[in-house]
Amino acid sequence: MGKVKYVLLDCDNTLCQSERLAFEACADLTNELMKEKNIDQQYTADSLLEDFVGYNFRGMLKGLKEKHGFELSDAELERYVSQELDRVTTKLSQKATECPNVTKQLEWIKSQGYPMSVVSTSAKSRVVASLEKCNLDRFFKPEHVYSAATSLTPPSSKPDPKIYNYACEQLGVKNAEAITVEDSKSGATAAMRAGIPCIAYVGIYGLEDSKEKMEEMGKLLTEQCKCVAVMRDWDEFPDILKKIESS
């Protein structure tokens, strides 16, 4: 494809180990919602991750509404989204850690002259909290951290490609001339729909689940989401990028 002109990066479970922490924080709030709606269903972080990994809380609430058939007014939606953001941001600011070898490879990307941006489905304040806790915020200009939840009007969520289209427009780069890294089906689908070559980062599944899960996700993201490569560790990034550019 020639030299990549912009490296776009997902944040949760791609740069920072933050997804499980976030789902732990929102599980209690989700169960409060279930109780308020008189629904006999309790969620754990794991069960929410199974159904909604890669979604922001707004997207998750819409999914829960469809699944359980309850009514949720716009005012209620905004109240729950606000509460979840506060709880998750606090937890991430205290406990988020970087995915292995991320700092090393971001240093390499920077040294090679590639501009970088974060393109996340999560609210920007939550993304910034994770980046700051992991000392990764130094790699990204604040205005180059894009959020489907807070950068767009109205808000959106991956797998909708709007946030990728918006980020590329703001950065002045053609979608096909950028590359991104995603860990989830929803994120990789958003990249595919936006026409942005995507590297599937599956190392997080080896850390939090199993090697079998890691390989399963690599197969899913390449077959269903057309990811151009699978990355099991961030140290593989330079070689993968070289192969992509020479293809």
Q: How does pLDDT run across 134-146, given as a tens digit for each residue? A: 999 999 999 999 9
Could you say which of 95, 128, 152 is where a domain stops?
A: 95
Residue 179 β-bridge partners: 7
User: Number of structural domains, the chain?
Assistant: 2
pLDDT recorded at residue 209: 87
Whether residue 116 is found in the same domain as residue 173: yes
Both 157 and 81 in one domain: the answer is no
How much is the mean pLDDT over the chain? Answer: 95
Question: For residue 162, is it within any domain?
Answer: yes
Helix (H, G, I), strand (E, B) or coil at 174: coil
For residues 117 and 220, membership in a common domain is answered with yes
Tell me if 1 is assigned to some domain. Answer: no
Mean local confidence (pLDDT), 9-18: 97
Looking at the fold, whether 41 and 79 belong to one and the same domain comes out as: yes
For residue 51, pLDDT over 90 is answered with no
Backbone angles phi, psi at 161, to 5 degrees: -80, 0
* pLDDT bracket for residue 39 (50, 70, 90): very high
Residues 197, 230 within the same domain: yes
Q: Is residue 73 in some structural domain?
A: yes
Do residues 26 and 13 both lie within one domain?
no
Average pLDDT over residues 52-70: 89
Mean pLDDT of the 82-95 span: 93
- 3 state DSSP class of 146: strand
**Domain, as residue range, for 127:** 6-17+96-246
